[in-house]
Amino acid sequence: MSDVIRVKFGMRWRYPVNVVRADGKFVHIRGPEEAVSFLIHQVDTGGTGRFDEAHRICVEALRGETAVEQARARFSDACWSAGILLA
């Protein structure tokens, strides 16, 4: 229990991911921290693999274990598959 997990909050993607919330409001997701929050609070993932994978990769990016743009790609793919990604 003495391990400290270092997290890089405030990381930003080069370009935001534009999505639609369940209430129809447009949201600009600017990095993995916002993506994790969106996945937890705004999306009924229903245990779908793509959202689970996007969540995992975004957390890894916050820890510095995965490239931030790789997290963006996984998040975008999950949102596209769910029909909530905007062009």
SS (H, E, C) the chain: CCCCCCCCCCCCCCCCEEEECCCCCEEEECCHHHHHHHHHHCCCCCCCHHHHHHHHHHHHHHCCCCCHHHHHHHHHHHHHHHCCECC
- Residue 11 falls within a domain, yes or no? no
- Residue 8 falls within a domain, yes or no? no
Range of the domain at 62: 17-82
- Residue 6 falls within a domain, yes or no? no
- Residue 4 falls within a domain, yes or no? no
Q: pLDDT for 22-59, tens place per residue?
A: 888 999 999 999 999 999 888 775 556 889 999 999 99
Say yes or no to pLDDT of 6 above 70: no
- Residue 47 falls within a domain, yes or no? yes
Q: pLDDT for 8-23, tens place per residue?
A: 667 899 999 999 888 8
- Residue 50 falls within a domain, yes or no? yes
Q: Per the structure, how many domains does the chain have?
A: 1
